[in-house]
Amino acid sequence: MNPFVSITLLTTLILSTTIVTISSHWLFAWIGLEMNMMAIIPIMMKKPNPRATEASAKYFLTQATASSLLMLAIIINLMHSSQWTIMKLFDPTASILMTMALAIKLGLSPFHFWVPEVTQG
């Protein structure tokens, strides 16, 4: 991989993690998570082979599903509170969906079905 591309991807990973960590706005947190996902996929495909391709596809599909659940929870919370703030979740449905989405993104139990397959690839 080109050194410029490697540096760009690593910088994007660091920047996206920082954005998620310091944001107090759900939209910025979501953008940071998406940046992180898009930067990690080329790193996973550094040596292209069928297993790496399959693992990257599974990672992308799982993370995209979790992102859509997270965005649904954010929109439900926005409809009930009229705020994008992270600090308060007003609707229990939004809270449950958000917890599920973040658990899928992190690979926490019982949503860890994708982690072994992706790490083996």
Task: Report the pLDDT value the prediction gives residue 6, as an integer from 0 to 100.
Answer: 84
CB 40 within 8 A of CB 21: no
Domain residue extents for the chain: 3-120
Greater confidence, 15 or 47? 15
18-77 confidence digits (pLDDT tens): 998 898 888 888 888 888 888 888 887 787 788 888 888 888 888 888 989 988 988 888
Q: Maximum Cα–Cα distance for the chain, whole Å?
A: 47
98-121 confidence digits (pLDDT tens): 889 888 888 877 877 777 777 776
Q: What's CA 101's distance to the chain center, in Å?
A: 9
Task: Report the pLDDT value the prediction gives residue 10, as an integer from 0 to 100.
Answer: 87
67-to-3, 6, 59, 106, 118 alpha-carbon distances in Å: 30, 25, 12, 12, 18
Closest to 78 measured CA to CA, from 69, 88, 67? 88
Task: Report the pLDDT value the prediction gives residue 121, as an integer from 0 to 100.
Answer: 66
CB 62 within 8 A of CB 114: yes
